[in-house]
Amino acid sequence: MKYVDEFRDGDLAKNIAANIAGEAHAGRAYRLMEFCGGHTHAISRYGLADLLPPNVRMIHGPGCPVCVLPIGRIDQAIRLAREQDVILCTYADTVRVPASANLSLMRAKAGGADVRMIYSTQDALKIARDNPQREVVFLAIGFETTTPPTAVAIRQAAAEGLKNFSILCDHVLTPAAMHAILAVEGGVALDGFVGPAHVSTVIGSKPYEPFADDYHKPVVIAGFEPLDVMQAILMLVRQVNDGRAAVENEFTRAVTREGNLKAQELVAEVFELRDAFEWRGLGSVPHSALKLRPQFAAFDAEQKFKVDYVAVPDNKACECAAILRGQKRPQECKIFGTVCTPENPVGSCMVSSEGACAAHYSYGRFRETA
């Protein structure tokens, strides 16, 4: 398949690995964070860490939209579904995220709440059209990749006068999270970032330039195929060796500096910045999430149903927060792979298909470490 098969060539991967090994200076460490959960899974699935020299270490970041949702946000959705008798629609991974009182959206559904898994915002709109007597709330989560479809849904609902449709908005922003990672006191030391792929197709490479200019941290945007990731690592090693800090784009087949201007205009029309938003692992991060603009307030479920957000501490046994900050690896959590598994997740990092714990468990990487 074009743009897939040629990016999974094992011989080429070994060649890039040889270049990384030859160019990485033996006397120094290279600490590189792959921000996006899609890259984390590619690294685990294809065994890319095994191809790297010991002094080149990949560190997992918070780029998993389900993982970074704090417990209080899931609680908020559960309260809506159980107490307001709404039809709550959301993407599949979200329904299994553990919440307070041993609940999850899936368990709330088993207890009688009308929770429905959907594949797109259009599914939620159809449910609202088909059930005019019921209130339909879409739990809108995700980074910049999934925000434009939500904006389209809001515009459609407004145009159609679909008054029984609203969203619980939990859309978050990538650059703000990267700033927070670098600003954490006593946080993980980093030499550079492998920048997100899909997010960057929307926002472009320009928003990463402050990380190079202000923090002197190189960023290389990479696709999700194994050769994409390996080439990005080589490009970062070369920047570190040269003492450079620039934003480079390995994923040129999909990402430009400006990004998708039409998608950005849609988002800007419908959404505005929140003053602050709580992230799992990062705490309250200023200007890191979106809310609906006042002209679309009729579609804001938080206002419509007066459902407030209440912060809830994480499970004390779970190390998801430290993993999302890059301070711990999944196998350093005491309950990883024993009490906490994909079948019985204790933390959100074990739930999502983009979670670091799920990646390590699914591809057996923790067994090698053990």
State residue 370's pLDDT score. Answer: 45
Closest CA to 340 of 323, 128, 152: 323
State residue 365's pLDDT score. Answer: 59
- 36 beta partners: 63
* Averaged pLDDT, 163-180: 97
pLDDT confidence tier of residue 1, bands split at 50, 70 and 90: low
Element (H, E) at 199: helix 198-203
Q: Write the single-letter amino acid at 357.
A: C
Read off the pTM: 0.94
- Residue 144 in this model has a pLDDT that exceeds 70: yes
pLDDT tens-place string over residues 327-351:
999 999 999 999 999 999 999 999 9
Q: Which long-range contacts (CB under 8 A, 24 or more apart) does 124-127 make?
A: 124/89, 124/153, 124/165, 125/153, 125/156, 125/157, 125/162, 125/165, 127/87, 127/89
* Averaged pLDDT, 298-308: 96
* Averaged pLDDT, 308-327: 94
More confident residue, 9 or 190: 190
